[in-house]
Structure 1
């Protein structure tokens, strides 16, 4: 257990001083929450499992059973689209994953300094391609790493960077209480025309506690309530917390009903979510 805490402290301190300071950062689309489940839970991703863990903590990839595929797309105002897909497959104690994040913006009209329409337009787009590997070291411990390629385009200028993520998960009480730790976006700068912007380096630590609910109705349904919390330190955003809670009802037929709520604090304000 002591080794887990030492490694967690190392992950949280690895980016000092940049990981814990306010400042500018490139690749801002990497800060956007991914996936319906994680987003509804306030982006509490330290203890997440399955294919979507590629976006939060690669150690969760080791908990994939068989093959798993997830896809999400969000359309915001001004026709801005954010699409994400992830594919994961287990093989014994190992698991492998592949993910893509793509942010697209419609063509933007050009104007001169006097506000006159130049009858021209330019495009903006960002993409990240990720390959992940994770392994279950023993029944309580998993670890994982990601390698990612990031590309950004603004009109005729473009920039690219490479980065890595690393994470681990530890089940303090299997099926009840677990911890997760991750370091994300540790890599090179996005270099536009000789001016480099560091990626949004993030150190994440969190936990999940599951309360099993008594079922006195005489049927075989299983009910539980999970409480999740993450603490992050991100370049360009400083310290912020993610909180979430989830009610799950599992039926005999294998179907699942889940109600999720989440809350996220940041220096610019707070956000609540429901799913």
Structure 2
């Protein structure tokens, strides 16, 4: 069976299972995997499955790491910072290298830090003086290549971890994606990705251990039998996206692109993300103004829909380019969040 046919079967089964039964909102582990990484994708309302390139693509569609990036090269580095709420911060980094014609390899890290919190007990409700931390982590390796001159396919294998205090849950997962370049409508692009296809997660650690008196009615028995609390297992947020990128205007130094992603997860309803990008392009500099509207079909279930941002890429005489992206995501009740990306193309 061809890779595209195999992927289509997997996607069909995933969508069918997600549409059956009652809503599963809030029933998966590691929800940070569906947050979206980076200022560019966030400014476009998460409609970034097709529009992404370079090391940023590691977190959206691994097939796109084999495409020529924003700087006109195939090798790139990526750093992203997302200032969220109440001392919660998200970080991402990635590297992509071209290993031969049409083939690229990459490694990406996605890290969400919840900060430090006071340890409180029933006896010391104001705090014991000690603190604990919590984080979410995803680290993966990716490979992509062009199967034809216009069709690109890629995949990622990654470790997913959640940790709070001394408790940890881990599993392995996979991402797959493809992108199709066309000659229609000024070079329309189509693409799809399936993310977080993997095992379930179950918390375990020293805090699950305790001592049990198995027979409190008897005297003289062992009152300290080692026991362990059994934790439930939770699936990962399996996600399917199908995206389209249409350059509506592509003339001289001006480009205007509209984007849309249909998005379905196994823990939420069918959704639509949309975005628009207006670009001024020369041989040495590219400037982008972006806006998006995410989670169109989820309505009042979501606190934030509208997003906006900007970015630029500057090329040097040595065939090296530096990129910078900025985005704001306003929330009705939680305030604004700010995202900043720095990219290096070489």
TM-score by length of structure 1 reads 0.89
* Matched residue, 1:185: 196
The answer to whether residue 54 in structure 2 is matched with residue 25 in structure 1 is: no
Q: Partner of 1:112: helix, strand, or coil?
A: coil
* Matched residue, 2:89: 81
Deviation at 1:73, TM superposition (A): 0.7
The answer to whether residue 264 in structure 2 is matched with residue 233 in structure 1 is: yes
| Match of residue 152, structure 2, among 139, 142, 157 | 142
In structure 2, the CA distance between the partners of 1:230 and 1:110, relative to structure 1 (3 Å rule), is same
* Matched residue, 1:196: 233
Deviation at 1:103, TM superposition (A): 0.7
CA deviations on 1:25-77 (whole Å, 9 max, x unpaired) are 10111111111211111111221222111111111111043311111111222
TM-score by length of structure 2 reads 0.72
| Match of residue 292, structure 2, among 248, 262, 269 | 262
CA deviations on 1:206-263 (whole Å, 9 max, x unpaired) are 101012344xxxxxx52111110000111222211110010111123x1011111111
The answer to whether residue 109 in structure 2 is matched with residue 100 in structure 1 is: yes
In structure 1, the gaps of 5 or more residues are: 215-220
Q: Partner of 1:77: helix, strand, or coil?
A: coil
* Matched residue, 1:217: none
Matching of residues 126-165 of structure 1 within 5 Å: 126-165=136-175
* Matched residue, 2:319: none
* Matched residue, 1:13: 12
Deviation at 1:123, TM superposition (A): 1.2
**CA radius of gyration, larger in:** 2
Structure 1 residues 150-159 or 43-52, which shifts more?
43-52
CA deviations on 1:126-160 (whole Å, 9 max, x unpaired) are 11101000001111100000000011111111010
Deviation at 1:13, TM superposition (A): 1.6
* Matched residue, 1:176: 187
Aligned residue pair count: 266
Structure 1 residues 179-188 or 264-273, which shifts more?
264-273
| Counterpart Cα distance in 1 of 2:241 and 2:49 | 7
In structure 2, the gaps of 5 or more residues are: 205-230, 310-346
Cα pair 1:57 1:167 within 8 Å, conserved: yes
| Match of residue 275, structure 2, among 235, 240, 244 | 244
* Matched residue, 1:58: 62
* Matched residue, 1:118: 127
| Counterpart Cα distance in 1 of 2:267 and 2:28 | 6
Cα pair 1:19 1:203 within 8 Å, conserved: no
CA deviations on 1:159-199 (whole Å, 9 max, x unpaired) are 10100011111113275211101110000111114321111
* Matched residue, 1:38: 41
In structure 2, the CA distance between the partners of 1:250 and 1:140, relative to structure 1 (3 Å rule), is same
| Counterpart Cα distance in 2 of 1:144 and 1:129 | 16
In structure 2, the CA distance between the partners of 1:115 and 1:200, relative to structure 1 (3 Å rule), is farther
CA deviations on 1:256-275 (whole Å, 9 max, x unpaired) are 11111111016322511111
Structure 1 residues 188-197 or 157-166, which shifts more?
188-197
| Counterpart Cα distance in 2 of 1:150 and 1:109 | 26
CA RMSD of aligned residues (A): 2.2
In structure 2, the CA distance between the partners of 1:16 and 1:205, relative to structure 1 (3 Å rule), is closer
